[in-house]
Structure 1
Amino acid sequence: MFRKNVFFEREQDKYDDEAKDYLGNQQKTQQLLNKARKKAQRKKGNLGDAWNKLQLFIDLVKAYSKGEYRNVSTKTIITVIGALLYFVSPLDLIPDFLLGIGFIDDAAVIGYALKKISTEIDAFSVWKMSGRY
């Protein structure tokens, strides 16, 4: 279990510096969200449970970038953007074109990121369900 977490942490950390470039750049962020939405929609069946988590990540970044929801730490937003960058990247650990297994790593990184930020993503989910989104 420990090795798996170190692996996912390392994979996601690769995208943290790039993720910081998205903070405060609404246009760049919107482009990322559009890419993530398109890819998620095309691959919905392959993502399983990770699809819903991915949608929550997209909604969080959208609300944050528009200034609608700021009750998260900068580290959390960087983690979520990093997970989205990993998801849209064609150069991840298992290439997406490998039918049946190409999205296993994407789903795993999304799940790992979710574990890291579970408290804050739960609070966002409650806020979203309250109808303010």
Structure 2
Amino acid sequence: MNQRQKERAENLFNEYSERSITEKDFKKAEKKSSRLGEQKENFNLLLNMIKDSWNGSFKLDKMSLAIIAGAMIYVISPIDAIPDFIPVFGWLDDIGIVALAMSRLSKEINDYKIFKGIQ
């Protein structure tokens, strides 16, 4: 991704982090995760974190929830920095967004892995 695409992705990420997430969105996200290559496991971890937070079993602050929700909505949205219908390149921005979310949430992810007994 070039700098312009990164800026567009970040703007869309910020916009999407304010959107409500539905059960249908979770199903789309789980389906689309197979296209995220090496970030698939990380994305699924983020999905599980937000689900556990919403059901009350794991506590996340509002900023962490917004980051995860933004990443999730960005991945499932057909409108993003590089359209998903472009073979290979269409998923690079989605992969980058998941990687960005993972880097911003390293402490929370570590806490979650301890909570779930994953290490």
Q: What TM-score do the two structures reach when normalised by structure 2?
A: 0.85
Query: Percent identity at matched positions?
Result: 25
User: Which structure 2 residues correspond to residues 1-133 of structure 1 after superposition, within 5 A?
Assistant: 7=7, 8-18=9-19, 21-22=20-21, 28=22, 30-41=23-34, 43=35, 47-70=36-59, 72-129=60-117
Q: Structure 2: which 5+ residue stretches go unaligned? A: none
Instruction: Give the counterpart letter for 1:15 in structure 2.
Output: Y
Instruction: Give the counterpart letter for 2:24 in structure 1.
Output: Q
Number of aligned residue pairs: 114
Higher relative contact order (CA 8 A, sep 6+): 2
Counterpart for residue 25 of structure 1? none
Instruction: Give the counterpart letter for 1:53 in structure 2.
Output: N
1:72-102 residue CA offsets vs partner (Å, 9 max, x unmatched): 2111011101100000000111111111111
Instruction: Give the counterpart letter for 1:125 in structure 2.
Output: K
